[in-house]
Structure 1
């Protein structure tokens, strides 16, 4: 595990290295980079895979108390991360969390050559579904988040529709989920970071305006959607693919939102077809 000091604080990440096309893979709320543990092995031989643990509640090191951890702030932090590592012609891969799209609407995606949106928050669906509303409420009630996190210690609650039951069709291994929830359960500073993000989501008209502005991104976009997703409306996959001038849609069977958990082999296949291993980096300027 490597660490990079950004303006907001420390970001931990893993980097397979290599000279292949660069993939930066980002996860969702209260998840860490281990969500890609079944995907990276199928790619690392031909691609450089970078998997940061983004400060969305499962990060182990708190960020600066004055850090901008709003939806837009974290999106711009993605751009800073790419810049600090001097990454170019990156394929940015998002699953669950859709905030990275705002990098496009802000005109800060010059280092992004391709984009993969896999069952992500989109349009005005922030945070998504019953679990999103539950964590939103918990973050606004004194002591609510800590209570919710303590309930997540119990397997029956984890698989309920109000928590993680609708995130993946197959239960995530207990030790993996324990690692996801431990930081916010045990650290008040991590909970502070999470609350700052969750309570920052702007009104729907602002979200829709940001979505409309992503039309300016003319490079290839792959939208990967789970047909049975209960949190990300199926129509959003089609709308996203139509939004981008170079967008395309593929749909996945037998999966919920966490496609890297439910269908990792299919996900690897989609990436390999979308980003050829012999891909020549796009010239800057």
Structure 2
């Protein structure tokens, strides 16, 4: 198996610097990090990739059985880290990739030495005293809409997820990214994402962890960021002056400042 081809792995930056792995969220691809890479590539070796079913990853490698849960995506990460023989890399995961990173740390602790969780959510559905931001009915409706008319769902939901209604070009970019994803593969990834519950995984994270949240985010509200910070041992929480679920796109300066400060503290 050619992992680099399978996941469309690309490497840039300083080949002699510490390694930072950037992982995209649902419906996205590595291009969503283009405003982050310039802030890293002078001092760090930057690894980007696409999950199977996203971007320019090899669609022939996709398997519904493998990717029906986040563990399959975590194995992609472990495979990439093993192929590149990474040691102590920092994994930066956006949205669902934050929890994928948590799973990957447990599977390959020698490969990942630090974790940055950008707009994470260990569970999207409210549960007793936990607020994930959605009721079970909300998620059922979201998935039914996605599965019945994926392109229509993308056009409606992407601007809501992105926020920043005064900057419609951001919502348009996310819409286009969603629409470029195969609907069948997107359906499986959506269910793996929005029906997941990895709250217990947070307590198992044993590497330095930075949690970045937006001041306003309809997908991962502030209560979720606080929950993640409380449950990850020693985690640092930074609330960015940002709106929406993709602060690395809508507020790249603030996101990059927090990220590079954390990375500098690891050196």
Aligned equivalent of 1:256: 244
SS where residue 2 of structure 2 aligns? strand
Aligned equivalent of 1:195: 187
Pair 134,54 (structure 1): closer, same or farther in 2 beyond 3 Å:
farther
Aligned equivalent of 1:187: none
SS where residue 49 of structure 1 aligns? strand
- The aligned runs of 1:90-169 (5 Å cut-off) are 90-97=89-96, 98-103=98-103, 106-125=106-125, 136-140=143-147, 144=148, 147-149=149-151, 152=154, 158=155, 160=156, 162-169=157-164
SS where residue 69 of structure 1 aligns? helix
Compare 21-30 and 101-110 and name the one that shifted more: 101-110
Q: CA deviation at 1:203?
A: 5.9
- Structure with the larger helix share: 2
CA contact (8 A) 2:18 2:89 kept: yes
Pair 269,125 (structure 1): closer, same or farther in 2 beyond 3 Å:
farther
CA contact (8 A) 1:172 1:261 kept: no
Aligned equivalent of 2:129: none
Q: CA deviation at 1:5?
A: 2.4
TM-score of the pair, normalised by structure 2: 0.80
Pair 254,213 (structure 1): closer, same or farther in 2 beyond 3 Å:
closer
Q: Distance in 1 between matches of 2:37 and 2:216?
A: 24
User: Which structure would you say has the larger RCO, counting Cα contacts within 8 Å and 6 or more residues apart?
Assistant: 1
Aligned equivalent of 2:67: 69
TM-score of the pair, normalised by structure 1: 0.76
Structure 1 stretches lacking a partner, 5+ long = 153-157, 185-189, 280-285
Pair 278,167 (structure 1): closer, same or farther in 2 beyond 3 Å:
closer
Number of matched pairs: 254
What is the RMSD computed on CA atoms of the aligned residues?
3.2
Counterpart among 187, 196, 199 of residue 211 in structure 1 = 199
Aligned equivalent of 2:9: 13
Aligned equivalent of 1:180: 177
Q: CA deviation at 1:118?
A: 1.0
Aligned equivalent of 1:155: none
